């Protein structure tokens, strides 16, 4: 269980765009770090979500990244965009679980 609740990322005062970036062990390091950095510099709120069972992810070259939350904790979070990294799709959970946690999150939900 992660220490951060994904629901806590977007407050009622903060209406910035919220982007989910799923990462997995073996994700290409530059492919993960650069988009996260660019989105944050642009003022976008980013949730780095681990698709593994722990927050710490080991990407290529032994670099360790600590995710903000587990993907399973983000299911009920209202996400504006999911940024899928090609290397994450190749190495990960998307092959192990074809009906992954992301599929329900990708459904268009009506705004209240």
Residues 8-42 have pLDDT tens digits of 565 544 678 999 999 988 888 999 999 999 999 99
Number of domains in the chain: 1
**Residue 66 structural domain:** 15-93
Task: Kindly report the length of the chain.
Answer: 112
**87 within domain boundaries:** yes
- C-alpha distances out from residue 21 to 8, 13, 36, 112, Å: 16, 22, 8, 25
**103 within domain boundaries:** no
- For strands 45-50 and 18-23, give the pairing: parallel
Check residue 87 and give its pLDDT. Answer: 65
**89 within domain boundaries:** yes
Check residue 3 and give its pLDDT. Answer: 47
The position carrying tokens 């780095």 is: 48
């Amino acid at each position: 269980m992660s220490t951060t609740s994904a629901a806590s990322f977007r407050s009622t005062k903060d209406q910035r765009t919220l982007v989910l970036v799923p990462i997995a062990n073996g994700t290409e390091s530059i492919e993960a770090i650069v988009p996260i950095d660019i989105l944050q510099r642009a003022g976008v709120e980013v949730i780095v979500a681990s698709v593994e069972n722990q927050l710490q992810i080991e990407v290529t070259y032994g670099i360790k990244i600590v995710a903000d939350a587990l993907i399973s904790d983000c299911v009920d979070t209202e996400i504006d965009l999911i940024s899928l990294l090609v290397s994450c799709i190749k190495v990960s959970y998307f092959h192990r679980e074809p009906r992954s946690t992301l599929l329900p999150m990708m459904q268009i939900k009506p705004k209240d």
